Structure 1
Amino acid sequence: MSHRDQTITRIIDSFPEGEKSFVEIPFDVGPEIERIEVSYHYPFGGGGSVIDLGVARNGRMRGWTGSERGHITLEADRATPGYDLGPIPGQWHVVLGIVKIGPDCKIEVQIRLITRRRQWLAGELHSHSEHSDGGVTVLDAIHRARASGLDFMAITDHNTVSQNIIRPDDPGIHVIPAMELTSFYGHTNFLGLERPVDDWRCRSPQDVAEKMEEARAKGATIVINHPFQNSAGGRWQAGFDGAFDAYEIWNGNWSVMNEQGLAFWQELLAAGRRIPATGGSDFHLKNRRRHGRPCNRICAEGSAIADVLAAVRAGANVITFAPDETMARPSAEDLPLFGAQVAAGKPIGVTFNGLADGDEVRIITEFGLIETRAASGDIMVVEQAFAGRFLRFEVWHGKDPKLFTNPFYAE
């Protein structure tokens, strides 16, 4: 636990207004806090006390659970049922409803303030539900993602946002509001907003670019999807000079369109573009894919949806075959993270784990593949001084990819 976490304990044993009153316990929450936990207990049963619990932020109630729960949690994007989502920093009060005061009633309240911290999260950025052509309910999609071991998911239904209104109660997984703009000229995901555009209809590639500008202006994170998909409207035809934040290099099962997408991403990087890469299962029930295959393994500065999307935009992402298999991380906390700018000559250290016999780690720069190292165990450490325009890594098993990192870039 970080030493910056805070615990506040208060004992309430005086009730000057008696029964049918409220007692408020103030506490301040700074911008570094991502989760509030409140616990309380008091004599009950034979004691006969009945004390209700709720919280308020900046003078407005944010939730109430009566005497039903002894422990509640609140985050920006998820909270105990009965409590509203929303901003965390502010002036807060624990609000106790004094229903009945038994003999020797004493209430112990504990408030824990949990600090944002860097963490690796696994998630899905491209999937569908019955709100377009996904074939499963929103809750079924969420259950499938949780069963795959994911920390976050986006349900990116085609040209619709009705899926974003259905929010599960405290599910243990972040569900990112999203929409896949599906046009005659290609597909692109808008992540982070319930309603990213007012009207999705596009009659030209220029319309697509304008919708992307509209969504970005509202705060969406934008990912160009499967740019080489061989289907009517699936191939990207709206150019790469518009408003987008990342590029999907791995869509579902590895295929020719992914090979072409990877090759073109390399061309863009070699030309000096700094474009973060993502992956997505593009789950539809009919295509028999599984959430998190491939998986985005991101290093976020906190656990909120905003932190997840900031990491996507920064390229702090490793695209892996599955959420619990081969992985790559910086070898130490003080070494650069994927997506970072690095000075020439500075050390780069990456530790690969979950390797198997027959795997090979490929080192790639603007000159293409410069070195291949065969796995000789389940762990490999690659250390070298940074040089050139960019440096990134891939792991392959024969013709099958297992992992792609985002690049380190020259300062």
Structure 2
Amino acid sequence: MVIHRGRWTLRDRAEDVLRALPVTVAPGTAALTVRLDYPRAAGVLDLGCIGPAGFRGWSGGARDGYTITPDWATPGYLPGELEPGEWQVLLRLHRVPPEGLDFEVTATTSSAAPAPPPAPVAPPRPQRPPRPAVPDVDGRRWLAGDLHAHTVHSDGAQTIDELAALAVSRGLDFLAVTDHNTVSHHPWLPGSARRYGITLLPGQEVTTDRGHANAFGPVGWIDFRRPADEWLAAVERAGGLLSINHPLGGDCAWRQPVTSRTRLVEVWHSGWWDRTWGAPLAWAQAWRPDVVPAGGSDFHRPGADALPGAPTTWVLVDGDPADEAAVRDALAAGRTAVSAGPDAPLLVRLGDELLALGADGALLGYPDGRHRVVRGDRCLLPAADGLHVLESHRMEVIALCR
């Protein structure tokens, strides 16, 4: 057993927000259990783990401990051999009060692995409700989904199966599971996708004090400790996509310095409570003129967040709609639209035209500032190059598309 205790101060945080506490793992170790204790009412310490071979898990401020064994691990952490050598318990000094924050970390190793906790019961597969009939385009199909959701592998309350079932009950075709700074959920996604008939994208929300970004695809763990430009380079080398999340989102607004700007941006986040507030669109258009709009609920738990699909991201996929790579290809090509929900008014591009569904009386805003009135529940209108916006008479954003 190893115990680290002390008091973190504001000076400690200013010098280095991320701290590593060493733990020696001997040959033949079958389990590592770590416990973090501190007064949670006074501050926030995030928790993670690095082994001799690299990343082994992250749970942020959602947990006060974890166990890693060869065959199972606490959600957020990777099971597998416990390599002998020096391991590191990671602590991020997320919130430290002026008087300091006392802490104690206890790390225990064992030659016998404890039994895994009982597996949760998977919910039944729900029936997917009907949603608007959107025509195919040159053999491509519009799919409804959500690009931002969390599970018990970070700070969400639901298992992957529970989240998948909820998304299906909401009428979604795909969902990106984007737990914070971890990839421990990725191996479980294909099985859950098959059980519930939904396409699940492997994702991770790269999370720092100066902004969050979603990495989409089986790209491996993205090291949040590195500069943001390195996140993008690593994701692109692995064939994935990076999206800036909720760039105006309160204390997690995007403030990371970058030299390369992603096209994909979570323009519409569930925190956009008043959509007459034009700042998200203004930010996106200032970010880069060819921005690709995405939407995300950032769902964590029922009753506390927007439900999956609020907002809904629509993608025009080419190929097998059950293939998560087809969804990523559509995002990379900029074939996206965003609506308030899977059955809300919708604006999509059909080649050189726009189709407005359920938006009779709304205003269509063109990239050059012109407006046209939508007449009828299925209205075809000419398209231009750039971002189009459906608005109410109050200038409230109803739907977006490129």
Structure-1 separation of matches of 2:221 and 2:329: 17
Aligned to 1:307: 326
Q: Percent identity?
A: 27
Indicate yes or no: 2:360 matched with 1:360: no
Instruction: State the shift of 1:125 in Å.
Output: 0.6
Aligned to 1:274: 290
C-alpha RMSD of matched pairs (Å) = 2.3
Which runs of 5 or more structure 2 residues have no equivalent in the other structure?
1-137
Q: Which of 322, 347, 351 is equivalent to 1:328? A: 347
The secondary structure found in structure 2 opposite 1:155 is strand
Native 8 Å contact 2:317 2:326 kept in 1: yes
String of CA shifts for 1:263-288, please: whole Å, max 9, x gaps.
1222244xxx4221111111111633
Q: Which of 235, 254, 267 is equivalent to 1:249? A: 267
Give 1:7-406 correspondences, 5 Å limit.
Answer: 117-167=139-189, 168=192, 169-193=194-218, 195-197=220-222, 199-202=223-226, 207-231=227-251, 234-239=252-257, 241-242=259-260, 244-255=262-273, 259-269=278-288, 273-285=289-301, 287-302=304-319, 303=321, 304-331=323-350, 336=351, 348-357=352-361, 359-365=362-368, 369-371=369-371, 373-383=372-382, 390-397=385-392, 398-406=394-402
Distance 1:391 1:195, change over 3 A: closer
Which runs of 5 or more structure 1 residues have no equivalent in the other structure?
1-115, 337-347, 407-411
Distance 1:235 1:288, change over 3 A: closer
Structure-2 separation of matches of 1:213 and 1:243: 11
Distance 1:308 1:238, change over 3 A: same
TM-score using structure 2 length? 0.59
Letter in 1 for 2:299: F
Native 8 Å contact 1:157 1:178 kept in 2: yes
String of CA shifts for 1:218-242, please: whole Å, max 9, x gaps.
22211010111111xx111224532
Distance 1:364 1:175, change over 3 A: same
Distance 1:217 1:245, change over 3 A: farther
Runs of 4+ in 1 over 3 A off after TM superposition: 255-259
Native 8 Å contact 1:221 1:245 kept in 2: no
Structure-1 separation of matches of 2:314 and 2:348: 10
Instruction: State the shift of 1:399 in Å.
Output: 4.7
Rg larger for? 1
Q: Number of paired residues? A: 257
String of CA shifts for 1:339-386, please: whole Å, max 9, x gaps.
xxxxxxxxx3212111144x2222222xxx222x333331322126x5
Native 8 Å contact 1:361 1:375 kept in 2: yes
Structure-2 separation of matches of 1:301 and 1:260: 33
Native 8 Å contact 1:296 1:318 kept in 2: yes
Structure-2 separation of matches of 1:218 and 1:382: 39
Letter in 2 for 1:319: V
Structure-1 separation of matches of 2:139 and 2:364: 30
Letter in 2 for 1:200: F
The secondary structure found in structure 2 opposite 1:263 is helix
